[in-house]
């Protein structure tokens, strides 16, 4: 279908249902099968620092269907790696909307260069599922190059796992959300400072983001947070944040975050947390558990997940378009 007139404008919160209809139509067309809900879009669009009115665009056909959309993400204090999320409805693949969406995204990215340090390297990031030829071709034509890939991994449990004991000197305690959230954020910042692309920002900004997501995510349950502490100091040394379900697949539990402070790695703590989480999901009737991971994780996370029985079931390609050469501010290698 190509003979259509499109009205273009920024997206609004009232467009959430139409937006997920288009996102889900794309997933179905490329054989992914994900089904997201409007609540997930609204949670994302209301993230602190993100302004939907100035950071989105939608192309609507005469029936109100979103033929194409894009959202631009540059909420960091130093937005040297802004992100672009975009898509074109399968009915309108011949309408050439992809070039307009990617061009709009580049203009948005060029507009944030002034907010970045003058000597910083700046690039625009986007991505698509591996094998999605339409999106891969559009990104290549727009000057993006494939830079990295991420894996969606899963485990299908056939029996309840028997979790191993936690390492000597480490115990777990219940996570008290209101009181412990700053401690959880501190652990995540420490653990993820070794992840590719990490750019440190003020603690209070990270705390605000976590509070938004955890206070409003319908799949967050404090009982699925595993919170190990050192017995001698009481220091939180790691965390695993489980969600009651994968927002894309209600049949699966989801491990959103798992991390260990650098000083407490290589003791089996991450393995123990994962096995305990699998048992918790089993007890809740979830025989399948998902998580997402950088395929080239600097901390070799893929090997860890494979050791506990997880497998890659889907791949996602991340593309980069260089906007300005300069000093790299993001983490790209272990020190």
How far lies 181's CA from each of 75, 138, 162, in Å? 21, 41, 28
The proportion of the chain whose per-residue pLDDT surpasses 90, expressed as a percent, equals 94
The answer to whether residue 173 sits within a structural domain is yes
This model's pTM is above 0.85? yes
Tell me, what's the pLDDT at 42? Answer: 98
pLDDT digits (tens, 9 = 90+) for 184-202: 999 999 999 988 899 999 9
Q: What is the pLDDT of residues 17-59, one digit of tens each?
A: 999 999 999 999 999 989 999 999 999 999 999 999 999 999 9
Instruction: Name 105's Cβ contacts closer than 8 Å, sequence gap at least 6.
Output: 70, 72, 84, 86, 124, 126
Q: Where are the alpha helices (DSSP H) in 255-326?
A: 269-283, 301-307
Q: Is residue 149 part of a domain?
A: no
Taking residues 256-262, report their average pLDDT.
96
Angle at 112 between CA 111 and CA 113, to 5 degrees: 95
Encode 90-114: b = buried (16+ Cβ within 10 Å), e = exposed. ebbbebebbebbbebbbebbeebee
Are both 308 and 162 inside the same structural domain?
yes
Is a pLDDT exceeding 80 seen at residue 215?
yes
Secondary structure of residue 51 in the 3-state scheme: coil
- The per-residue pLDDT for 3 is 52
Residues 293-317 have a mean pLDDT of 94
Answer yes or no: do 112 and 214 share one domain: no
Does 335 map to a domain? Answer: no
**Residues contacting residue 196 through CB under 8 Å, at least 6 positions apart:** 148, 294, 296, 297, 298, 330, 331, 332
Q: What separation in angstroms does the CA of 138 have from each of 88, 100, 101, 143? A: 11, 11, 10, 9
Mean model confidence pLDDT for the chain? 96
Which of the listed residues 86, 118, 143 is the one where a domain comes to its end? 143
297 within a domain of the structure (yes/no): yes
- CATH number of the domain at 19, please: 3.40.630.30
Which H or E element spans position 70? Answer: strand 66-73
Number of domains in the chain: 2
DSSP assignment, residue 64? S
On whether both 180 and 59 belong to a single domain, the answer is: no
> What residues contact 238, with CB distance under 8 A and at least 6 apart?
187, 191, 228, 258, 259, 260, 261, 264, 269, 270, 273
Where does residue 236 rank: exposed (0-12), middle (13-18), buried (19+ CB within 10 A)?
buried
Residue 2 pLDDT: 53
The 3-state DSSP composition of the chain as helix, strand, coil percent (nearest 5) reads: 35, 30, 40
173: domain range? 154-317
């Amino acid at each position: 279908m190509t003979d259509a007139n499109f009205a273009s404008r920024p997206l609004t919160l009232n467009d959430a249902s139409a937006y997920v209809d288009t996102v889900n139509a794309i997933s179905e067309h490329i054989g992914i099968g994900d089904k997201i809900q409007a609540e997930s879009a609204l949670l994302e669009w209301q993230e602190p620092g993100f302004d939907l009115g100035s950071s989105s665009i939608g192309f609507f056909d005469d029936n109100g269907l979103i033929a194409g959309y894009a959202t631009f993400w540059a909420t960091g204090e130093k937005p040297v790696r802004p992100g672009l999320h975009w898509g074109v409805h399968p009915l309108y693949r011949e309408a050439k909307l992809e070039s307009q969406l990617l061009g709009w995204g580049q203009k948005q990215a060029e507009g944030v260069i002034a907010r970045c340090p003058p000597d910083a390297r700046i690039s625009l990031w986007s991505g698509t599922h591996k094998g999605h030829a339409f999106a891969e071709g559009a990104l290549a034509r727009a000057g993006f190059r494939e830079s990295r890939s991420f894996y969606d991994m899963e485990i299908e449990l056939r029996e309840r796992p028997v979790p191993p004991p936690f390492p000597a000197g480490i115990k777990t305690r219940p996570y008290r959300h209101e009181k412990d959230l700053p401690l959880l954020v501190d652990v995540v910042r420490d653990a993820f400072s070794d992840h590719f692309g990490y750019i440190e920002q003020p603690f209070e900004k990270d705390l605000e983001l976590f509070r938004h997501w955890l206070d409003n995510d319908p799949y967050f349950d404090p009982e699925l947070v595993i919170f190990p502490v050192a017995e001698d100091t009481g220091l939180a040394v790691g965390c695993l944040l489980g969600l009651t379900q994968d927002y894309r697949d209600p049949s699966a539990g989801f491990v959103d975050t798992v991390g260990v402070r650098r000083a407490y790695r290589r003791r089996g703590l991450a393995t123990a947390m994962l096995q305990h989480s699998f048992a918790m999901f089993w007890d809740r009737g979830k025989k399948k558990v998902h998580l997402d991971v950088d395929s080239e994780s600097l901390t070799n996370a893929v090997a860890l997940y494979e050791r506990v029985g997880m497998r890659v079931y889907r791949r996602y390609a991340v593309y980069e378009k260089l906007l300005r050469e300069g000093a790299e501010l993001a983490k790209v290698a272990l020190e």
